[in-house]
Structure 1
Amino acid sequence: MQDEPVLDLAHLGHLELLTPKPDESLRFFIDVLGMTVSGRQGDSVYLRGWDDYERHSLKLTASKKPGMGHMAFRARSQQALERRVAALKGSGHDIGWTDGDLGHGPAFLCRDPDGHVVELYYETEWYQAPPELKPALKNQAQRFPARGVNVRRLDHLNCLASDIRANRIFYEQYLGCRLTEQIVLNDGTEAGMWMTLTNKSYDFAFTRDHTGAKGRFHHLTYALDSREDVLRAADIFLEAGVPIESGPHKHAVQQTFFLYVYEPGGNRVEVCNAGARLILAPDWKPIVWTEEERKKGQAWGMKTVESFHTYGTPPVDPDD
Structure 2
Amino acid sequence: MTELCSFNYLQDFCDDEWRKSRLEIDCAKGDGLNFIAPRGSQCNPFSKQEESRLFCWAGWNEKFYTFLVVGNDRGTPQFCLRFPNKLTPHFSVMVYFSVLCPIQDDGMPPTGIEYHELKMNSLEPDSCIDDDTDKCNIIMKRGQCKKEEKYGLHCERTCNNCLDRGNMINMMCPFSTTVQGTWMFMDKFHKETVKINTTTLHFKDFGMFICKERSVFSDKLYKTVTLFDNGCAMRYTCFELQRRNNNVMQFRVGESSRSDLGFDSLCRFKEQTIPVTETYRSSQAKNLILDGYLRDEFCGFSSIIPFNGTIYGEPCTGSITDWDSDGCVTRGVLKVKSDTCSNLVNPLGK
TM-score bin, normalised by smaller chain: under 0.3
Provide TM-score, normalisation by structure 2.
Answer: 0.23
Structure number with greater Rg is: 2
Return the structure number with greater helix share: 1
Provide TM-score, normalisation by structure 1.
Answer: 0.24
Return the structure number with greater strand share: 2
